[in-house]
A and B are shown apart, each in its own frame.
Chain A
């Protein structure tokens, strides 16, 4: 199956700093990537959808200036959490889908802790 990687797997940062999370599709071209957020014992909440070369589409209630998404190539999307606060602490998961595929392949997730 297709492989999606995320980096870093864990990050701890101070309040007020920015953190960048990378999502890469390793063996296929991902025309569309998705970013999810998951709280403990909860479902995944879709944050935004990004298509390569265009602006991300954010779900209702997600601050686009807070969570910056860049999908500059067919194998890489980044999520930057700007001016992070403790309430941004969460598990962030990306997924990727090719142009011809219906299946979304998920990365292993990034655990963000903001102190």
Chain B
């Protein structure tokens, strides 16, 4: 399967806490991308990490990639109620070039 598998499926935390979401995939990738989707909206691209990178930061987001374990994690620090959304990882393979999405992690941040 080409899709990423996110874990956990749902996560509920208090505002100010950190949220960690994990992603696993099956075969070698070119890069891995994380997206956010607010209810009833399109996807917003958050961050892209290439296969030769181990960690990347963007504001309150931190993404790690372990190609030996075929896994990635997304950490949102100091979460806010506005971070409430579904988060998807999408492994990008050289062949085909299409993004296949898993079920995502539904994050709920309570004020």
Contact = CB atoms under 8 A, between A and B. Distances in A.
A109 B42 CA distance: 5
Nearest to A6: B42
Contacts, number: 55
A107 B42 CA distance: 6
Q: How large is the interface on A (under 10, 10 to 19, 20 to 34, 35 or more residues)?
A: 20 to 34
Contacts of B75: none
Name A's interface SS.
strand
Interface stretch (A13-21, A75-83, A97-105): A97-105
A1 B45 contact: yes
Q: How large is the interface on B (under 10, 10 to 19, 20 to 34, 35 or more residues)?
A: 20 to 34
Contacts of A103: 33, 45, 48
Nearest to B43: A106
A114 interface: no
Contacts of A111: 40
Nearest to A108: B42
A43 B43 contact: no
B21 to A, nearest CB: 14
Interface string B89-111: 01010001111111110000000
A13 B72 CA distance: 42
B98 A49 contact: yes
Interface of A: 1, 4, 6, 32, 34, 36, 42-44, 46, 49, 91, 93, 95, 97, 102-109, 111
Across the A-B interface, give the 5 residue pairs with the lowest CB-CB distance, nearest first: A106-B43, A106-B42, A108-B42, A44-B101, A109-B42
Given A49-B97, A93-B42, A95-B99, 18 more contacts: A34-B98, A34-B99, A36-B101, A43-B88, A44-B88, A46-B101, A49-B96, A91-B40, A95-B43, A102-B31, A102-B33, A103-B33, A103-B48, A104-B45, A105-B45, A106-B45, A109-B42, A111-B40
